[in-house]
Each structure stands twice: as structure tokens, then as C-alpha cells.
Amino acid sequence: MQTQSLAAFVAIVDSGSFSAAADQLGVSQSAISKRLANLEQQYNRPLIERDGRHARLTEAGERLLPHARQVLDELHNARLSLEQPARSFSGPVRLITSHHIGLHHLPVWLKTFRLQHPGVQFQLQFMESEQAFAALQRREASLALITLNDRLQQHFELHHTWQDPMYFVCGRDHPLAALPQPTLGDLAQHEAILPAATTETYRVVSHLFLVNGLRLQAQMPTNYLETIKMMTSVGLGWSVLPGTMLDDELVQLPVPANVSRVLGAVGLWRRDPGPVARALLELIQQEQAQAG
């Protein structure tokens, strides 16, 4: 089995078309078609069907895909293991990050890392945590720093995790700010401003209300915590935000309920993220240990 044929097959699947796969691999579209044809001839069955300008997997292609990815990952790991370790890292490294981590955690870590390894060039992709898993499966980055959930599939690997405590907040002019000891029942009487229902933050808060028999009035969903903070600060509703975002514009509500989420660094199972990513993970762990 030719590695180039497998790479072409996976590129077509991930990019969705022959032309995009050709651009991704830096070859002609005819070369992509020929490599796929060689693979299909070897197995004596079609693996990808053309649907106009798009390509989709056949049943046989669905079965082959995870094995093709595994073979390419093992070749990737073999190449990394044969490379001589360098005293200083250099070159581009692709990294996925959620907007919150990218704004409130990652800058300090990258600044420290670049002082130690000035030759490294990080290529950041900002996206919602739920989308990051699909991007990792397409091998668009070696590492993702995102919010975790309890549906993490077995083909992902958790390299590092940490708790991110969340706090109930409202604007200074909001009616809840005047209550000395607000309860979840008090919050249920007012509109909430939370991320979309597909996010882990929403699931944590909605579960808390559900087990207490309360109705959650979640309005104006947005996945950008900075937008949520702004709308909360002007009194449009209460919300739940991480401690790194609290300031004088917000009032922390002493609600007798604990809310927290888990952030983490995720990679693909059995795929080496590379020496730069491993070094960055070590730095993150050291920084967090020193911060207590």
C-alpha cells in the first residue's frame, strides 16, 4: 500500500473535494485522482464517490478511513522519533485554542515560551471548543487548548487538565445585586445570558437548575464570553463567568452553588504532538504549579 495514496484518500475526505486535496498536498488534481484510483484498484472497490464538486465516502471508504489515519499517524510518529533533538526549537507550529483560553491564559504562556525559544512561530486557530475536536481529527493542529466535556471520545488524548471555577455575576444596577444572599430561586426569576445550549458551560448551569426544579430563562445566547460580560455588566441579565473575567463592572453573587468547568490540552490518541507542543505543555504545567 502506497503512503501517498493513503494521504491523498484522507486529504480528499478532510477537504471535501479533489481540488482542495490537491492544494493541501501541493500536487495536481490529476495526481490526486491517480493516487485514489491506485488505492481503489488495490482493494477492488470504490472508496469515494463524486457528488458534483464534492466527494463523499462509500461504505468501504468509511471502513478504511480510521485505518488510513492510524497508518499515517504511525509514520508521523516514526519521523519524529528519528529526528535528532535540537537544543532550540524553530519553525511553525499549529495550535487550536478556544477564544477564552486564547485571550486570558495563552498569551502569558506563549510570551514565556517565545523568550526561551524565539525561533518558534505559533499558528493559532481560534474556534469553539466543540468544533476543535473535528479539527483535530482532520489533523489541522497538533494540540488544542479548549473546554472539555464528558463526551470526549476514546481517540482523543488528554495531555493536561485544570479546573476553571465559574462565578454567578450581574451588573451593578441589576436587581439581584441588592440581595445580600441570592439563591438559585432568585436567579430563576430573572433572565440569564449564557453560551449556546451546545456548550459545556450551559450544560453545567442548566443541570444545576434542573436538579433543583427551577426554570432557567436563558436569553440571547452567544459563545463569546467577552460579549456575555458586556451584556451582563449593563444589566441585561445575570450570567456565569470565570474568575479571570471578574472586575469592577460586575457584582459577584454569593449564590450557594458551585459551578466549575474543566479546561485542558487535547491531542489525538497515539499521535505524537511533536517536541514543541510537548515543551509548551511542560511550561503550562510549571506555570500553573507556581500559580498554585
Q: What are the extents of the domains in the chain?
A: 3-82, 91-292
For 191, counting Cβ atoms within 10 Å of its Cβ (0-12 exposed, 13-18 middle, 19+ buried), the class is middle
Identify whether the C-beta of residue 142 lies closer than 8 Å to the C-beta of residue 273.
Answer: yes
Q: 91-292: what fold? A: D-Maltodextrin-Binding Protein; domain 2 (3.40.190)
What is the distance in angstroms between the CA of the first residue and the CA of the last residue of the chain? Answer: 51
CATH class, range 3-82:
mainly alpha
DSSP letters spanning 153-201: -TTEEEEEEEEEEEEEEEETTSGGGG-SS--HHHHTTS-EE---TTSHH
On the question of a common fold for 3-82 and 91-292, the answer reads no
Regarding predicted confidence, which is higher, 169 or 272?
169
Q: Which of 196, 200, 203, 186 is nearest to 220 (CA)?
A: 196
- Read off the pLDDT band of 51 (50, 70, 90): confident
Checking if the pLDDT of 285 tops 80, the result is yes
Residue 170 clears pLDDT 90, i.e. is over it: yes
pLDDT of residue 250: 97
pLDDT in tens, 97-144: 998 899 989 999 999 999 988 989 999 999 987 789 889 988 889 899
Please give the pLDDT value at position 52.
Answer: 66
Cα R_g (the chain), whole angstroms: 23
- pLDDT digit string, tens, across residues 202-256: 989 999 999 999 999 987 777 788 999 999 999 999 999 999 899 999 999 999 9
Write the pLDDT tens digit of every residue in 14-46. 888 888 888 888 899 888 889 888 888 888 989
